[in-house]
Structure 1
Amino acid sequence: MQQRGGDSTYGMGFCLDSELQYWDSMLNEAYRQLRAVRQASDADLPDNLAVQADTLRNMQRAWITYRDTRCGHEASLWQGGTGAGPASISCMMQLTAEQALYLLALYSGEG
């Protein structure tokens, strides 16, 4: 945002979206690795206990719904103004980063 034009609504949105893409990539990789670990762990358990991979998937799906709803609300606070875009992207970036770090912490605990 320190670049020329970065203080415009478009510039802020572009910058925030770039960081969102970074965190989204980190989140997807952490989820993929953690899910593989959970599936391997489930393979050694009786069916009634082999739920780690499924609960991880369900948690992630619920989190996506929460993230989208919360960030939609953030955008609504701008009541249709031009700040809605950057507010929504900023929210998505922050929550995605937090979730990526959470999944990475879970995965690193497996090592």
Structure 2
Amino acid sequence: MFGVLWGLILAAVLVSPALAEEKVDCSNAMTQLEMTTCANLDWQQADEELNAAYKAAMAKMRETDEFLPEDQRGAAETLREAQRAWIPYRDKACDAYGFQARGGTMEPMLVYGCRAQLTEQRTKELEELTEGLGN
């Protein structure tokens, strides 16, 4: 019986954030749960935009590599390595930012907000790179 009850509790906890996202009016978030949910949604949206910008920049870097002499190529690999280094930087920097409210209900909101902000900045950098390569 205890196992079934624990399973139901765990299922409710895992489903709750998904349900909360559907019901939250982020233009008027009032509770900490609503503000955290909206910060998470902002980060998810920023991450989608980042992925699109990275894809466009990577395509331009590959195109650049095609036009360069073989001994000067490496644009795409350099961007890939930079992005792979940037992601853990963003995550750890934002985890550190969350320590302003360590253990409190605001901590996840601070982390998500930081991730959204840094992700938006990185998206702009990638867009500028793409434009500089002749988009």
| TM-score (normalizing by structure 2) | 0.74
1:7-22 superposed matches below 5 A: 7-22=30-45
Instruction: Let me know the Cα RMSD of the aligned residues.
Output: 1.4
Percent identity of equivalent pairs: 32
Structure 1 runs (4+) greater than 3 angstroms displaced: none
Who wins on radius of gyration, i.e. which is larger?
2
Asked whether the 8 Å contact 2:42–2:113 carries over to 1, the reply is no
**1:82 alignment partner, SS class:** coil
Q: Which residue of 117, 125, 135 maps to 1:94?
A: 117
1:56-71 superposed matches below 5 A: 56-71=79-94
Asked whether the 8 Å contact 2:36–2:106 carries over to 1, the reply is no
Q: CA deviation at 1:77?
A: 2.5
How many residues of Structure 1 are paired with residues of Structure 2 in the alignment?
109
| Structure with the larger helix share | 2
Unaligned runs of 5+ in 2: 1-25
Asked whether the 8 Å contact 2:53–2:126 carries over to 1, the reply is yes
- 2:50 pairs with 1:27: yes
